[in-house]
Structure 1
Amino acid sequence: MAEGGLLGNIRNAPQPPAPVLGCSKVFACILPIAQIAIGAKFLNECPQGHYIPIYLIVCGVFGLALALLSCLPCVRPTEGGTPTPLTRLCETWTSLTSCFLACWFIAGNVWIYSIYEPNYNKNATSTEPYCDKTLYLFAFWVTTLVYILLGLALVGGCCTLVCLFVCGRADPDDNV
Structure 2
Amino acid sequence: MSTAIAVVSKLILSGLPIAQIVVGALYHNECPMQHFIPIYLEVMGAYGLLALALSFLPFVNDLTPYSIAFGSVNLLFFLCWFTTGNYWIYSIYEPNYNKTVSIDTYCDKTLYLFAFWTTNVTYVQLVLFVCCCCFCARHLPSVMTSPS
**TM-score higher than 0.5 here?**
yes
Q: For the pair shown, which has the larger CA radius of gyration, 1 or 2? A: 1
Contact 1:46-1:132 at 8 Å conserved across structures = yes
Q: How many residues were matched structurally? A: 145
Structure 1, gaps ≥5 residues long: 1-15, 172-176
Deviates more, 1:35-44 or 1:155-164: 155-164
Alignment CA distance shift 1:66-1:115 (3 Å): same
Report if aligned partners of 2:89, 2:115 keep a CA contact under 8 Å in 1. yes
Say whether 1:95 aligns with 2:80: no
The equivalent residue for 1:29 is 14
Determine the structure 2 residue equivalent to 1:41: 26
Name the SS of the counterpart of 2:94 in structure 1: coil
Partner of 1:154: 130
Partners of 1:127 and 1:42 in 2: CA distance: 15
User: Aligned residue for 2:110?
Assistant: 134
Per-residue CA deviations over 1:75-131 (Å, capped at 9, x if unaligned) read 354xxx9x5xxx93x65444323311110000000000011111011122x455110
**How far apart in 2 are the matches of 1:73 and 1:133?**
41
Are 2:121 and 1:120 aligned? Answer: no
Q: Which moved more, 1:37-46 or 1:150-159?
A: 150-159
Q: Distance in 2 between matches of 1:116 and 1:127?
A: 17
Q: Partner residue of 1:106?
A: 83
- Residue of structure 2 equivalent to 1:20: 5
1:117 is matched by which residue type in structure 2?
E
How does the TM-score come out when normalised to structure 1? 0.71
Instruction: Specify the code of the residue in structure 2 equivalent to 1:99.
Output: L
Q: Distance in 2 between matches of 1:169 and 1:28?
A: 30
Q: Does 2:42 match 1:57?
A: yes
Which protein has the bigger helix share? 2
Identity %, equivalent residues: 46
1:145 aligns with 2:126: no
CA distance in 1, matches of 2:61, 2:103: 55
TM-fit CA distance, 1:153:
2.3
- Cα gap change, 1:163/1:91 in structure 2, threshold over 3 Å: closer, same or farther? closer
Q: What is the TM-score with the length of structure 2 in the denominator?
A: 0.83
**Secondary structure of the structure 2 residue equivalent to 1:137:** helix
Corresponding letter in the other structure for 2:110: T
Counterpart residue type for residue 120 of structure 1? Y
